[in-house]
Chain A
């Protein structure tokens, strides 16, 4: 699966890689033996081994998703991917115990510094395994669990078994099945009833190995009345061959709890990013996805919220930026499965230099779910003539008494706006950046300050040299 990645990535800042031999690297390709081997190496309980093998069979049977674009996924050769690469022997609690070269990588990415400054806990995954995990002591004392998924399975097998795969079954789609078969790493978060984690937990995902598949698996459980904000960031080196990132994220938000999940996805432009993210929101629960997609070659990702009990609220903020050679097929799904549930989807997408963005969304209201309220707004901005933007909204409304709003705009970078700013002395490129930053402001303002700054910086980087 060779691409011209290197030539299209441009100024990608995180494109370096470490030249080190992994502790263990599975042979490329996938079969039942490799799936069993991964489970055995991890010393998993029998039920998980069986779950993986069954998922593998489902993966074999499932069709490739075809909706993003004809042939969009043809570049993925499942037999040339390394499904499991372990870089370090163990998961460290102390930063000093992390191998030097991995530490350097995360240092360059600014992770330890971020942890010191504004995070309640940090997890860092390097290829298949989480290499570092830590949570503030006061939170641990309150019973908050923040572990890598493997650690969660080891230390809290009952909680994991009760919830794992209940929100996204292996049979959900081909890539969910693949993840279920070969998952490794990811986060396990458990917030006890009534506990509010006021500052974010962050996980950082890094692919280092060439032709690598990263399949992290995250499970977040918010007990009644609790709150947590989980943030993830992702980067990868630039290789001439593609990598595959296919995560599954399951979230259960119980009565009156609130969960916010923020992603700043900045994979290099040789990564296929095919992720299934779904949350269940129970009575009066609030689930918020803030999903920023800037990197990758192709992203197909539609964070979803299933509102299963009255009073649940879903909020999805989706931001996509597609530069040259990129296709961001993103959006969100809200499923109203109970009366009196409310949802909002706001999507902002920008395409530039031949990039393509697609908004794909679903609003579903089941029969009898009266008084459901849903508002969808998607705005697309095209920086130049070569770029493309499409909107695919789906509404399936089977209840009688509902309030549904949908607004969509597609526009070119406004000539009048550019002229206005330029007539004040701003050069064209700077004026364009300012307009784009303003365009994404409704989403950026929802981010913690540090991430807002980072996101604005990434957008500015994407905008460099795009006009004039």
Chain B
């Protein structure tokens, strides 16, 4: 592992779910301090990429590699990746009934830092971070993601992002299901993390452009049918916003349709 290695490097990644190929050779490099936007139509494989990067056991890597700070993480379990400094903000965070946020966060921080945090230190960190995110203190007493509104769920994810300070943050549709105010709070939270030293790499996966008005990416990618078909600067994201995916796909000789899911497209392609 050297500082010269990219924070996240994805090479020719092929992934299957239950025997069906979803990703068909994704290449991606995110360096420290960079914000990347990954856009794509529904079913293009965005969430598959996010879950695979974090090591979800349901997703099988059939070819290619994922490297974090120069090391292949393919053999690492999700918790090993997390403790090394990878973080995934979930599109649909799962509820853990009966487990309070405060209990969960304390255990997670202890596991990540390899020590039992003194109660006072933990509380201070938690309360300060919650305040920044305009979260009610009572929130910490609620059960993890249980009965949370869409906005609360995303805020809870950003709270973890801020507490854990990962080296690479993968944000899967963090903007979905948020009203304008909640979106602003979440975007501010991400921007704070992006500005903190040591600066993390951020991979912002999104279906919509609107969050990109609030979080400015350095690089934008378009994912279609399990492949990154185009990479560019911010202007690429703008192009998607103005013209939709159809124009990019047309340029590349691809035809989009109703059933433009990775599965359907793959079936059509073979």
Contacts and interface: CB of A to CB of B under 8 A. Distances in A.
Interface of A: 414-417, 419-428, 430-431, 434-435, 437-442
Residue picked from B55, B97, B98, most chain A C-beta under 10 Å: B98
Given A422-B77, A427-B111, A441 B97 contact: yes
Given A417-B96, A439-B97, A434 B78 contact: no
Contact of A425 (B79, B97, B98): B79
Contact of A426 (B56, B57, B79): B79
In the complex, the 7 A-B pairs of residues with the closest C-beta atoms, listed nearest first: A438-B98, A441-B98, A438-B99, A425-B82, A422-B78, A424-B108, A425-B112
A439 B144 CA distance: 12
B164 interface: yes
Interface in B86-130: 87-88, 90, 93-94, 96-99, 103-104, 107-108, 111-112
Interface of B: 54-58, 77-79, 81-83, 87-88, 90, 93-94, 96-99, 103-104, 107-108, 111-112, 143-144, 160, 164
Nearest to B111: A425
A377 B112 CA distance: 37
B34 to A, nearest CB: 22
B97 A415 contact: no
Contact of A423 (B78, B96, B99): B78
Residue picked from A422, A426, A434, most chain B C-beta under 10 Å: A422
A434 B98 CA distance: 9
Contacts of B88: 423
A428 B77 contact: yes
B99 A415 contact: no
Contact of B107 (A414, A428, A434, A439): A434
Given A419-B57, A438-B143, A424 B96 contact: no
Contacts of B103: 434
A417 B56 CA distance: 11
B96 A438 contact: yes
Contact of B94 (A417, A425, A428, A430): A417
Contacts of B77: 422, 428
Contact of B56 (A419, A421, A441): A419
A439 B98 contact: yes
B94 A416 contact: yes
Contacts of B90: 420, 423
A426 B93 CA distance: 16
Residue picked from A419, A425, A426, A431, most chain B C-beta under 10 Å: A425
16 contacts: A415-B57, A415-B58, A416-B94, A420-B90, A424-B79, A424-B164, A425-B83, A425-B111, A425-B164, A427-B111, A428-B77, A434-B107, A435-B99, A438-B98, A440-B98, A441-B98
Contact of A431 (B57, B79, B81, B112): B79
Contacts of B83: 425
Contacts of A425: 79, 82-83, 108, 111-112, 164
Given A419-B57, A423-B79, A437 B99 contact: yes
A385 B245 CA distance: 45
A427 to B, nearest CB: 5
A438 B97 contact: yes
Residue picked from B81, B87, B90, B104, most chain A C-beta under 10 Å: B104
Nearest to B88: A423
Contacts of A437: 98-99
A421 B109 CA distance: 12
B163 to A, nearest CB: 10
Given A421-B96, A422-B78, A425-B82, A434 B111 contact: no
Nearest to A434: B99
A430 B107 contact: yes
Nearest to B93: A420
Contacts of A414: 94
Given A419-B78, A437-B99, 17 more contacts: A416-B94, A417-B94, A417-B96, A421-B96, A422-B78, A424-B79, A424-B104, A424-B108, A425-B83, A425-B164, A426-B108, A426-B111, A434-B96, A434-B104, A435-B99, A437-B98, A438-B97
A422 B79 contact: yes
A435 B104 CA distance: 10
A161 B205 CA distance: 75
A430 B83 CA distance: 14
Contacts of B55: 422-423
B112 to A, nearest CB: 4
